[in-house]
Chain A
Amino acid sequence: MSNPVHQQIQSTINANDVVLFMKGTPMFPQCGFSAAVVQVLSHMGVPFQGVNVLENMEVRDGIKEFSSWPTIPQLYVKGEFVGGCDIVREMYESGELEDLMKDKGVSGVSA
């Protein structure tokens, strides 16, 4: 992994259990899809690190190559790419997201 942006992304997802690459901040999302994922995570009581891609053009493009995923938001749990808005919402509704968080030992998930 020689791309410095990819290295930066990798160290962010290594350093935090749950990372959301999003447009805007968790307090002020600037896109409906990002807001939807923030809402799911907040509702589950999962602490997460938000990364505002609008503040960094290199990360905004880099994250898309990093995961072979063309859109923002992107959710990572314990270093693993979980999905974008559709997948997160679908997994939340089916209860899979909560199971995933528990399986991965993410703290703060209310049972």
Chain B
Amino acid sequence: MPMKANDIETLIKEAFPDAQVTIQDLAGDGDHYAAQIVSAAFQGKNRVQQHQMVYKALQGRMGNELHALALQTSVPDNT
């Protein structure tokens, strides 16, 4: 069952209220997304930890309903 970009964004924003989230539907099939997430919550974490935080925010959907989500995480420039 594919997920809507809006639903992905909502889940991410619930977990990271300060986040700037950009989601792209890569193939136009509602199944392959790329997400760029900028949040101060990623400060001091390595990439694996940052991505694990996002996967946790998606509450088990990653790898199930959500087949492909390319992630790019970063902290805001001014922190």
Q: Out of A33, A68, A81, A86, name the residue touching B71 (CB < 8 Å).
A: A86
What is the total number of residues of chain B having a CB less than 8 Å from a CB of chain A? 13
A-B contact pairs, 19 of them (CB 8 A): A64-B63, A68-B55, A69-B48, A69-B51, A69-B52, A69-B55, A70-B55, A70-B62, A71-B62, A83-B51, A84-B51, A85-B70, A86-B70, A86-B72, A87-B47, A87-B51, A90-B47, A90-B72, A91-B47
Q: A33, A86, A91 — which one has the most chain B CB atoms within 10 A of its CB? A: A86
Taking a contact as CB atoms under 8 Å apart, the answer to whether B63 and A87 are in contact is no
B60 interface residue (CB < 8 Å to A): yes
A109 interface residue (CB < 8 Å to B): no
Identify the B interface with A (CB < 8 A): 47-48, 51-52, 55, 60, 62-64, 68, 70-72
Inter-chain CA distance A7–B46, complex, in Å, is 26
Taking a contact as CB atoms under 8 Å apart, the answer to whether A83 and B48 are in contact is yes
A46 interface residue (CB < 8 Å to B): no
Closest beta carbon of chain A to B61's beta carbon, Å: 9
A-B contact count (CB 8 A): 32
Q: Classify chain A's interface size.
A: 10 to 19
**Which residues of chain A have C-beta atoms less than 8 A from B70's C-beta?**
85-86
Q: A33-B68, A86-B71, A86-B72 given as contacts; is B52 within 8 A of A68 (CB)?
A: yes
A44 interface residue (CB < 8 Å to B): no
Residue in B closest to A81 when the chains form the complex, CB atoms: B48
Inter-chain CA distance A81–B49, complex, in Å, is 11
**Which residues of chain A have C-beta atoms less than 8 A from B62's C-beta?**
70-71
